[in-house]
């Protein structure tokens, strides 16, 4: 049987999943983040890259044309550098900000917020050459190598197809003006990269699905592990069962002492039972001396029958008293009339007066 062979046949518990997450064992595909960033970057360049290209053109023209530099000392160079840096930042910072936001969003969508400072500590066990060779020649490494080769082939195929379709136009570039040919090359480069990114995104989604499946398989537990976890979280099952038995006996013993003192038991009719006591001389209001549901309700009914205590079926009243009134607490004022009516009926049966 699977349980006897130690087979991991049980899904991971919530505690096991939380512990694995705290150790950094989560499903994550680095390829998914890379492909998404590539597509986002290309989309931003496609929409706003013309401004950057125009700036580079103007800057190049300004540097290569115009009047010759008569001085090139340190101060002149710093001023020229600062002007170029500030102007370039105007075009690059929005692009970099969008890419940064996309990178954060993609990673959060995969693993959520996960802060693991212990991962920054040195792990000397990774310097073990034997373990290193084991990781290099493991099934996982072989799969990553095969997946990497597949990505290279797909990238090459997509790039070849995209450029082959522009074969005739590329041959005509020599007859185009420099601005026109530059614009065409930039456009075809961006669109080819977008197509490559789309292909990589599809592969990355498949890789992420595989990583989630593999992570679930790695977190599966044997029957022994499930029992050990339950034992650690809840204590020894035998001790817990013994504790529940003792608690149940204490409740039953308390019922055995409290129910005989009651004047009436209100039921629902079998699921709930509330025992009420009222002494005109010593009590300002009736008191709930015992209440219970299920087995406890049956126990209260049995004790009431054994001691000749009347049992009255009042479903709404039993539900309200069981829900709102604790044991050894008086009846709420809004329930006085209903309880008084029952007590009057009971006292009439016994030949007693309620007041």
Residue range 172-177: average pLDDT?
76
* 3-class secondary-structure state, position 193: helix
| pLDDT reading at 1 higher than 50 | no
Domain boundaries, the chain: 12-65+76-114+126-221, 254-350
3: confidence class by pLDDT, cuts 50, 70, 90 = very low
What's the burial of 204, exposed, middle or buried (CB within 10 Å: 0-12/13-18/19+)?
buried
Distance CA 265, CA 278 (A): 12
DSSP label of 331: P
Q: What is the pLDDT of residues 112-169, one digit of tens each?
A: 777 666 666 666 666 666 666 666 666 767 777 888 888 889 889 998 998 888 888 8
DSSP letter string, 214-275: HHHHHH-B-HHHHHHHHHHHH--HHHHHHHHHHHHHHHHHHHHHHGGG-SEEEESSSSEEEE
Q: What is the pLDDT of residues 25-47, one digit of tens each?
A: 777 888 888 888 888 888 888 88
Q: Which residues pair with 274 in a beta bridge?
A: 266, 291
User: How would you classify residue 235: left for phi > 0, otherwise alpha for psi between -120 and 50, otherwise beta?
Assistant: left
What's the confidence (pLDDT) of residue 136? 65
Number of C-alpha atoms within 13 angstroms, CB side, residue 85? 6
What's the mean per-residue pLDDT of the chain?
A: 80
CATH 3.40.1690.10 fits 254-350, yes or no: yes
| pLDDT reading at 298 higher than 80 | yes
Those residues whose C-beta lies under 8 Å from the C-beta of residue 333, and which sit 6 or more positions away, are 285
Backbone angles phi, psi at 45, to 5 degrees: -65, -35
What's the confidence (pLDDT) of residue 157? 92
In this structure, are residues 317 and 334 in contact, taking their beta carbons and an 8 Å threshold? Answer: no
Those residues whose C-beta lies under 8 Å from the C-beta of residue 317, and which sit 6 or more positions away, are 266, 335, 338, 339, 342
Instruction: Check residues 341 and 57 and name the one with the higher pLDDT.
Output: 341
């Amino acid at each position: 049987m699977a349980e006897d062979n130690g087979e991991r046949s049980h899904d991971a518990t919530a505690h096991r999943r939380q512990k694995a997450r705290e150790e950094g064992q989560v499903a994550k595909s680095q390829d998914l983040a890379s492909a998404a960033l590539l597509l986002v970057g290309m989309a931003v360049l496609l929409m706003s890259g013309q401004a950057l290209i125009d700036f580079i053109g103007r800057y190049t023209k300004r540097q290569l044309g115009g009047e010759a530099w008569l001085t090139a000392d340190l101060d002149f160079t710093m001023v020229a550098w600062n002007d170029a840096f500030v102007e370039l930042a105007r075009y690059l910072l929005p692009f970099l900000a969008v890419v940064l936001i996309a990178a954060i969003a993609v990673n959060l969508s995969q693993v959520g917020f996960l802060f693991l400072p212990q991962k920054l500590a040195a792990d000397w066990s990774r310097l073990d050459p034997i373990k290193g060779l084991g990781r290099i020649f493991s099934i996982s490494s072989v799969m990553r190598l095969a997946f990497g080769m597949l990505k290279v082939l797909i990238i090459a195929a997509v790039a070849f197809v995209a450029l082959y379709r522009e074969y005739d136009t590329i041959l005509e570039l020599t007859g185009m003006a420099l601005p026109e040919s530059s614009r065409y090359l930039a456009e075809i480069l961006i669109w080819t990269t977008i197509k490559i990114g789309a292909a990589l995104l599809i592969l990355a989604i498949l890789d992420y699905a595989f990583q989630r499946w593999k992570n679930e398989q790695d977190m599966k537990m044997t029957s022994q592990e499930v029992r050990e976890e339950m034992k650690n979280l809840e204590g020894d099952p035998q001790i817990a069962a013994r504790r529940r038995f003792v608690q149940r006996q204490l409740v039953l013993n308390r019922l055995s002492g409290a129910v005989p003192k009651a004047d009436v038991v209100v039921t629902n009719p079998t699921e709930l039972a509330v025992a009420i006591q009222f002494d005109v001389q010593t009590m300002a209001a009736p008191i709930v001396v015992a209440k219970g549901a299920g087995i406890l309700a049956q126990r209260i009914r049995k004790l009431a029958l054994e001691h000749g205590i009347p049992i009255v079926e009042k479903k709404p009243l039993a539900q309200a008293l069981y829900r709102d009134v604790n044991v050894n607490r008086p009846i709420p004022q809004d329930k006085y009339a209903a309880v008084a009516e029952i007590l009057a009926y009971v006292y009439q049966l016994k030949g007693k007066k309620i007041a």
